Amino acid sequence: MSFAREGCCSIVIADISTKGLEETAFTIASTSSGAAKVIQIKTDVSLVEDVTALLAETKQEFGRVDYAVNAAGILSMSARSHETSIEDFDRILAIDYKGCWLCSREEIKHMLDQEPLETHDGRPGNRG
């Protein structure tokens, strides 16, 4: 919501949950008085194909990636540590650790490939 509140008018949100996407899009729309264009993309950040598709669709829609917030994560599967299965622990790692890395990796690729933004004072611009 902070991006919309600060005037960002092109926002992509990703979530594995359709309901989560809809709730977030609604909140952004109400925060920005509808001024922000919000694209919702259902994504499982633990899957390289989903992350690649997320960034490809973002670039196709908006032409570039200037900011990224990698905030996907799960805390546990409602079990105590000693009761957590190996499969559940692997899922936690796949989302919290690998998912963040996959997203950052793909975002950086896109940012390095795009032209720097213009600046107001002649300093070199950044790529994202």
pLDDT in tens, the chain (128 residues): 788 888 889 999 999 999 999 999 999 998 877 788 999 999 999 999 999 999 999 999 999 999 999 999 998 767 888 999 999 999 999 999 999 999 999 999 999 999 998 888 988 888 88
Pair 11, 39: CB distance under 8 Å: yes
Q: Considering only the top CATH level, what class is 2-113?
A: alpha beta
- Residue at 9: amino acid letter: C
Region of 11 (left: φ > 0; alpha: ψ -120 to 50; beta: rest) is beta
